[in-house]
Amino acid sequence: GQQVMQIPQYQHVQEGEDFTTYCNSSTTLSNIQWYKQRPGGHPVFLIQLVKSGEVKKQKRLTFQFGEAKKNSSLHITATQTTDVGTYFCAGRQGGKLIFGQGTELSVKP
Amino acid sequence: KAGVTQTPRYLIKTRGQQVTLSCSPISGHRSVSWYQQTPGQGLQFLFEYFSETQRNKGNFPGRFSGRQFSNSRSEMNVSTLELGDSALYLCASSLARGVSYVTGELFFGEGSRLTVL
């Protein structure tokens, strides 16, 4: 079936360390979106990537969309305690927006 | 501008009962999607509605149904509840651009947390 795989499931880092989460699809995606869900909260949209090989930055966050439009990554430089939460990728396949399982990030001060 | 509103926020049901959850999208948003979130499964796509029509459906049994009204408000219903239906049910709305119903970013509500005993 349609799946978007995301790894790792959990990541524990020391404040100041970098963090990366990866997203892979077995099929080509129309676009990829990234969301952040704080503990006890709801997913909040971060960014959308549409073009093959696209790279976008938001302050310490760097988002990439693969050349084949089947994979994506989110990299956070020098994590802060405010980065804590679960990061989800979501790929549009055949009109449906399918979410990855998410990567839960914890940051130790 | 008010966000996506979901009611009720919390509810407890017993096996075999049915439940109806409501979602009011952001004003002007015509597309509404529903997701089930559980700790082990992440966000699972239930269905998407646009202009009162179901545009996409996930892989859930027929016990899960939904509808959208002319004012874009949406409801989802789960009949014959099972223990495994305990989850956070999230509704999300989005703008639909042009004649295509393919939508952009989703704006999520706070969710309805269902516990089935």
Please check whether residue B41 touches A, CB under 8 A. Answer: yes
Task: Report the mean per-residue pLDDT for chain B.
Answer: 92
What pLDDT was estimated at residue A95?
74
Tens of pLDDT along chain A (109 residues) come to 558 999 999 999 999 999 999 999 999 988 899 999 999 999 999 999 999 999 999 999 999 999 999 999 999 999 999 999 999 999 987 778 899 999 999 999 9
Q: Which residues of A touch B (CB under 8 A)?
A: 1, 30, 33, 35, 41-45, 48, 88, 90, 92, 94-102
Please check whether residue B105 touches A, CB under 8 A. Answer: yes
Please check whether residue B66 touches A, CB under 8 A. Answer: no
Write the residue in B90, B106, B109 that is nearest to A97 by C-beta: B106
Contact check, Cβ <8 Å, A97/B45: yes
Q: Which residue of A has its CA nearest to B104?
A: A48
The backbone region for A97, taken as left when phi is positive above 0, alpha when psi lies in -120 to 50, beta otherwise, is beta
Residue owning tokens 């509840």: B81
Partners of A10 on chain B (C-beta within 8 Å) are none
Strands A55-58 and B74-78: unpaired
pLDDT digits (tens, 9 = 90+) for B15-66: 999 999 999 999 999 999 999 999 877 899 999 999 899 988 999 999 999 9
Under a CB-based contact definition with an 8 Å cutoff, are residues B9 and B23 in contact?
Answer: no
**Candidates A97, A98, A103, partner chain B, best to mutate (most B CBs within 10 A):** A97
| A71/B112 Cα distance (integer angstroms) | 31
Please check whether residue B108 touches A, CB under 8 A. Answer: yes
Under a CB-based contact definition with an 8 Å cutoff, are residues B28 and B107 in contact?
Answer: no
Q: Grade residue B101 by pLDDT with cuts at 50, 70 and 90.
A: low
- Cα of first residue to Cα of last residue in chain A, in angstroms, is 40
Under a CB-based contact definition with an 8 Å cutoff, are residues B35 and B46 in contact?
Answer: yes
A8 token code pair: 């790792």
Q: Does residue B98 carry a pLDDT above 60? A: no
Please check whether residue B25 touches A, CB under 8 A. Answer: no
